[in-house]
Amino acid sequence: MIIQAKSTTLAVSLIVSTSLLSGCATTQQNQQLGGATFGALAAGLTTGLLTGNVGYGIAAGIGGAALGWGAVKLAQHETRQVRSAKEDERLYGFIPATDSVLIKLNKGYASPSTIAAGQQTTIYSDYSLSLPPSYNNQANVTYEWKLKKDGKVLNQSRPASQTKTAAGHQTIQPIDIPSNATPGTYVVETKLSSGNTYDVNEVVFVVR
């Protein structure tokens, strides 16, 4: 508790300091940078407090601001069933779960995969869920994602859970690209988990 209190104090001090700097800025560029950094730090502090890791939240916020992602609003994902359990088993050739949950991310892609700053891309991830008979064909699946560039986390979602049946499913995650986003290659890491079982995949898109 003492460590978290110190981290929170440091985070608040950073936000206040940034606010003062942006208030003292004499050029429009400095004011914009200060405002973006302040917003990113505030968002990072919120993320850190929610996850219990204030330092990580602040670092992610600063990294996002530096690359133009400081104030991006996270869109809610959708999930839909795209195959029956039998179709899923035939397509991917796995044996139905007998005593444990099986969750597997099969493939993912971004559409469009190359976009301009200020536009939107959508991340699609296909996954299989197989359940033992004791689950009565339903299990809680938790979805979360991180947006990264050059190994740095720019933005991330809070975990979202839904009850799903054994079948093939697809997650749909829209991502708005800020108008001042840095050109380059971005990586979206999708993680799905159920109980102690999880799987991760990565999808790449390019901002030109």
Which residue range is the domain that position 29 belongs to?
2-66
Q: What angle do CA 146, 151, 154 make, to 5 degrees?
A: 45
- Per-residue pLDDT for the chain (208 aa), expressed as one digit of tens each? 444 444 444 444 444 444 444 444 433 333 333 334 444 444 444 444 433 444 444 444 444 454 567 556 677 899 999 999 999 999 998 888 888 999 999 999 999 999 999 999 999 999 999 999 999 999 999 999 999 999 999 999 999 999 999 999 999 999 999 999 999 999 999 999 998 999 999 999 999 9
Q: How many domains does the chain have?
A: 2
Q: Where are the beta strands (DSSP E) in the chain?
A: 78-83, 102-111, 114-115, 120-130, 138-149, 152-156, 160-165, 167-176, 184-194, 197-207
User: pTM for this structure?
Assistant: 0.68
Does 188 fall in a domain? yes
Do residues 53 and 83 both lie within one domain? no
Do residues 95 and 55 both lie within one domain? no
Give helix 54-66 / helix 2-24 axis angle, nearest 10°. 30
